[in-house]
Structure 1
Amino acid sequence: MRNHIAVDIGASSGRLVLGTIKDGTLRLDELHRFANGFTERNGSCFWDIDELFEQIIAGLQKAKAGGITRCTLGIDTWAVDYVLLDEAGERLQEVYAYRDSRTDGVMEQVAASISPETVYAKTGIQQLNFNTLYQLYAHDSAELARAHRILMVPDYLYYRLCGRQINEVTNASTMQMLNLQTREFDEELLALLGLRREQFAALTEPGEVLGTVSAELMSQYDLPECELICAPTHDTAAAVLGVPLEEGRSAAYISSGTWSLLGAELTEPLNNAQAMAANYTNEWGAYGTYRFLKNIMGLWLIQEVRRLDGAKHSFAELAELAGKAEPFRSLIPCNHPRFMNPANMIEEIRAACRESGQPVPESPGELARCIFDSLALSYRSYLEELEALTGTKFEVLKIVGGGANNALLNQLTADMIGREVQAGPTEATAIGNLAVQLIQAGEVAGIREARALIGSSFEIASYQPRPVPQLDNVLRRWQELNAALG
């Protein structure tokens, strides 16, 4: 039985998960869990990247103490954020968090030099003000000029472990700087930023062996012998690999966490004018695929409500309270920029309801119900949009990630879209990370076999649609709200 460890770090937490195959089943064991989050200093938002590295080391020490002497290891994190290194390989400054306000208005500045249509035709990446293209445009140009290497966050963590510098493709594509035709950094966009191709490392595909943990770290800490495998380092790319797609049945997916990423797996990019108008992205996936998807604000909304309420209720308790609240009483357009990083999410939701003439949600249950109803309606709207763009009527919607635990939201979603929702596995991101390690190790033959293994190893809950009283009235209100505020 071989040991494989997924380092899976999201915007709010991280963990090290052990994966092993026993009796034809993929088993997961959480080795280590830790909190994550950005901090604000002097008006800017930063990640504590050193703390993340130290937590990886702490998790590996626990693995060794638990009897794991050899393993493979892959890393995935969120996308778009980057690290600048000097010629000695030292970090030039702290790592900006994508919710930092420095990119406000930058998309418009870039558009004055190169049209959004041209950028989309080149990259196929949706317009989001926190894309790396805009972050780098906003970055101090003198500091950028001093950067010998620009790595994404998971690339940097690999570098700290083994000394090798890469730009892994699933995460690099989110920079909005890779050309779909040349499959390289776009020269015109590099020139716009005043950057050179050699400031970026070689583009690297998932599955490549990167080396082993450095001798220095092995001598400093009691760690297992780790062979580092290039995982799909963007957590959404890993999560999509963890979706148990079935041959012969069309499925859309939602990777549900801080963000809800709704889309379909394609073998060719879809970067036409209609896709751009709908703001769908073509992020690169593992094994020659593309993640054609829409970013939806997701469980960030409820995470912030819970935090501001002093974490008095667990997420399960908030869902229970929401189930007792009046349905569709108050709705918000989840993807409105006002909900990106407001000073106070609770007050922002209340203000949006007040401005649109709706009852103002006061209790935790009413706030949670407002969020869940609004998310389910958002999923309906964007699924219809996805079907129109791809020309595919999807038979089932598969929800993976932490949101798959929310039975209320899953049922609301099935009710809204009028078809089956399958929820699970919740650990899809770590599972997708592990799947690449299993394929590289020869324990499964390829992604089809890996997905079959995933489908048979984890419980998948099914939600069938139920009638919704006054659905037409709810949909009319939703359309009016989005027209007024959206």
Structure 2
Amino acid sequence: MAHIAVDIGASSGRLVAGEIKDGKLVMNEIHRFANGFREVDGTCYWDIEHLLNEIIKGLAEAKKRGYDSVTVGIDTWAVDYVLVDENGNRLQDVVAYRDSRTEQTISKVSRQISQKEIYEKTGIQFLSFNTLYQLYEEKRELLTQARHIMLVPDYLGYCLTGRAVTEVTNASTMQMLNVQTRDFDEELLALLSIERHQFPPFAEPGEELGPLLAERFPGIDLPDCRVMVIASHDTASAIAGTPGEGENWAYLSSGTWSLLGIESPKPVISDLSLQDNYTNEWGVFGTYRFLKNIMGMWIMQEVRRHLTVDYTFAEFVDEARKVKHFRQFVDLNDDRFLNPANMVEEIKAYCRETNQPVPETAGELAACVYDNLAIIYAIAIRDLEEMTGRRIDRLHIVGGGANNGLLNQLTADVSGRTIQAGPSEATAVGNLLMQMIASKEISSLQEGRELIRASFPLQSFSPEEKAAQRIEQFYQHRKGEKV
């Protein structure tokens, strides 16, 4: 049977069909489309109707290609929500997480409930755009009218099937679920003046959501679709699609964001994890994704956008190989890099303000970004070992960033760990695996990861000793600085 992963990121989306043939997972991209937020009257919005229309276009294309009966799973980014009224209609456009409305909200909320208490309840990192803070800033009249508050992939599934659920891996990112009760925290709901029933019932990855209601899309020839609940947070799907085995491995989901962490059977909540802003997002089959949110390829997308010469990402890597590395330390996790007016100028301004060499050329800018991502990754691995007591020997890099051989090698050199890169399509792979488990085509996540290792070429990068020594000196020199 064929399965279709609907995988939507901040800049693009696609539909990918997957089947098991001759003991391997074979994938075929059916449809690709652009995504992005737009600014209207000072507020950043997603075009949610565009996303729904593109999903339907992709399913119609699947039918044209001979996929008559399929399962479908939808993953997107986290935290952003849709308000739906009693009649199933959206109450407003969907505000994007990069909007500025929550810049000061953490401090507002912390005056009512301390950060320590929130962290002990939820185990979730403090990011200014978490759903908790977005809902705090939301218009009260809209929240009062909302019958359902749904995250983006749940809303898209609702549009297809008519069934409203709250998928748990994505819901955990809201910073509103209590790790002890495994439900929405009553005190946080009271803070927002929201009732528990406004959030649809929980659904776990591996369940069936329901059949696609073709009558909602008249005149379009669609396949017979059963929509499955998968790990609808793209990072949760990416980790499900990571070919790790044993215990001493960590993952780096490298895309718009860099998510570096371990798969844990229980949350890790301590003063140190709070101090270093590590998070405990829920994973598939009751696991936790204990990870650090780090800036990712978004920075290079923005650097590219603001240069007068248009470089491809492969050309950035080629240019970066030509210049001297590790000339400056830039805290890429600083909020100033979240959505600046001009990323190139912001990086240069940071270097000037900290009395460091200012990168000028495309190669110098790319090297600056890659070097500092590698440094932050290495520090995060050390922190993970300290907080969990688990030795990390191997880092699996998945997602689009797995194709950047220079960054992979820099990360191996800085961290002193072996890097295994691939698959680059881990999110779609994890999405498909959970559909296969829900359909009983494969029996477990372990079997699914064995299938990944048999299906995709994986590339290894070993640390170069001289580079590791040089970076160790750099780390010792800089370790007092906050990353």
Does the C-alpha gap of structure 1 residues 351 and 476 become closer, same or farther in structure 2, counting only changes over 3 Å? farther
In 2, are the aligned partners of 1:45 and 1:97 still within 8 Å (CA)? yes
1:106 matched to which residue of 2? 105
The structural deviation recorded for 1:271 is 1.4
User: Is there any run of 5+ residues in structure 2 with no aligned partner, and where?
Assistant: none
Q: The residue matched to 2:45 in structure 1 has which SS?
A: strand
Does the C-alpha gap of structure 1 residues 477 and 307 become closer, same or farther in structure 2, counting only changes over 3 Å? farther
The 2-side partners of 1:74 and 1:121 are apart by 32
1:463 matched to which residue of 2? 461
Q: The residue matched to 2:448 in structure 1 has which SS?
A: helix
Q: The residue matched to 1:324 in structure 2 has which SS?
A: coil
In 2, are the aligned partners of 1:377 and 1:416 still within 8 Å (CA)? yes
1:3 matched to which residue of 2? 2
Does the C-alpha gap of structure 1 residues 378 and 84 become closer, same or farther in structure 2, counting only changes over 3 Å? same
1:97 matched to which residue of 2? 96
Q: The residue matched to 2:39 in structure 1 has which SS?
A: strand
The structural deviation recorded for 1:329 is 1.9
The structural deviation recorded for 1:210 is 1.0
In 1, are the aligned partners of 2:73 and 2:432 still within 8 Å (CA)? yes
Aligned pairs for 1:3-42 within 5 A:
3-42=2-41
Q: TM-score, normalised by structure 1?
A: 0.97
2:475 matched to which residue of 1? 475
The 2-side partners of 1:110 and 1:281 are apart by 18
In 2, are the aligned partners of 1:331 and 1:371 still within 8 Å (CA)? no
2:193 matched to which residue of 1? 194
The structural deviation recorded for 1:218 is 5.3
The 2-side partners of 1:127 and 1:95 are apart by 21
Pick the aligned partner of 1:355 from 346, 349, 353.
Answer: 353
The structural deviation recorded for 1:304 is 0.6
Pick the aligned partner of 1:336 from 334, 340, 365.
Answer: 334
The 2-side partners of 1:462 and 1:402 are apart by 16
Aligned pairs for 1:58-137 within 5 A:
58-137=57-136
2:263 matched to which residue of 1? 265
1:184 aligns with 2:191: no
The 2-side partners of 1:151 and 1:145 are apart by 15
User: Is there any run of 5+ residues in structure 1 with no aligned partner, and where?
Assistant: none
Q: TM-score, normalised by structure 2?
A: 0.98
The structural deviation recorded for 1:476 is 4.5
The 2-side partners of 1:428 and 1:472 are apart by 31
1:232 matched to which residue of 2? 231
- The one-letter amino acid paired with 1:470 is R
1:159 aligns with 2:173: no
Q: The residue matched to 1:83 in structure 2 has which SS?
A: strand
1:438 matched to which residue of 2? 436
The 2-side partners of 1:217 and 1:65 are apart by 19
1:322 matched to which residue of 2? 320
1:208 matched to which residue of 2? 207
The structural deviation recorded for 1:444 is 1.0
The structural deviation recorded for 1:310 is 5.6
1:383 aligns with 2:381: yes
Does the C-alpha gap of structure 1 residues 53 and 310 become closer, same or farther in structure 2, counting only changes over 3 Å? farther
Q: The residue matched to 2:132 in structure 1 has which SS?
A: helix
The structural deviation recorded for 1:299 is 1.1
In 1, are the aligned partners of 2:414 and 2:472 still within 8 Å (CA)? no
Pick the aligned partner of 2:289 from 254, 279, 291.
Answer: 291
The 2-side partners of 1:133 and 1:165 are apart by 20
Does the C-alpha gap of structure 1 residues 300 and 269 become closer, same or farther in structure 2, counting only changes over 3 Å? same
Q: The residue matched to 2:348 in structure 1 has which SS?
A: helix
User: RMSD in angstroms over aligned alpha carbons?
Assistant: 1.2
The structural deviation recorded for 1:477 is 5.1
The structural deviation recorded for 1:455 is 1.1
1:250 aligns with 2:248: yes
The structural deviation recorded for 1:373 is 0.3
The 1-side partners of 2:98 and 2:17 are apart by 31
Q: The residue matched to 1:296 in structure 2 has which SS?
A: strand
What is the count of residue pairs matched by the alignment?
A: 481
Please list the CA deviations of residues 438-464 of structure 1 after superposition, one character each: whole Å capped at 9, or x if unmatched: 111121110000001011100110001
The structural deviation recorded for 1:181 is 1.1
Q: The residue matched to 2:479 in structure 1 has which SS?
A: helix
The 2-side partners of 1:157 and 1:16 are apart by 14
In 1, are the aligned partners of 2:214 and 2:222 still within 8 Å (CA)? no
The structural deviation recorded for 1:475 is 2.3
Please list the CA deviations of residues 317-354 of structure 1 after superposition, one character each: whole Å capped at 9, or x if unmatched: 11111111111123311111110111110000000111
1:302 matched to which residue of 2? 300
Percent identity (aligned)? 55
Please list the CA deviations of residues 91-126 of structure 1 after superposition, one character each: whole Å capped at 9, or x if unmatched: 000000001100011111101111111111111111
The 1-side partners of 2:60 and 2:44 are apart by 30
The 2-side partners of 1:262 and 1:150 are apart by 29
The structural deviation recorded for 1:313 is 1.2
Does the C-alpha gap of structure 1 residues 291 and 136 become closer, same or farther in structure 2, counting only changes over 3 Å? same
Q: The residue matched to 1:34 in structure 2 has which SS?
A: strand
In 2, are the aligned partners of 1:164 and 1:210 still within 8 Å (CA)? yes
In 2, are the aligned partners of 1:212 and 1:227 still within 8 Å (CA)? yes
1:55 matched to which residue of 2? 54
Please list the CA deviations of residues 204-226 of structure 1 after superposition, one character each: whole Å capped at 9, or x if unmatched: 10111111111313543111111
Please list the CA deviations of residues 389-435 of structure 1 after superposition, one character each: whole Å capped at 9, or x if unmatched: 00011110110000000000000000001121000000000000000
Q: The residue matched to 1:98 in structure 2 has which SS?
A: coil
Q: The residue matched to 2:71 in structure 1 has which SS?
A: strand
The structural deviation recorded for 1:311 is 7.0
1:372 matched to which residue of 2? 370
The 2-side partners of 1:179 and 1:13 are apart by 32
1:449 matched to which residue of 2? 447
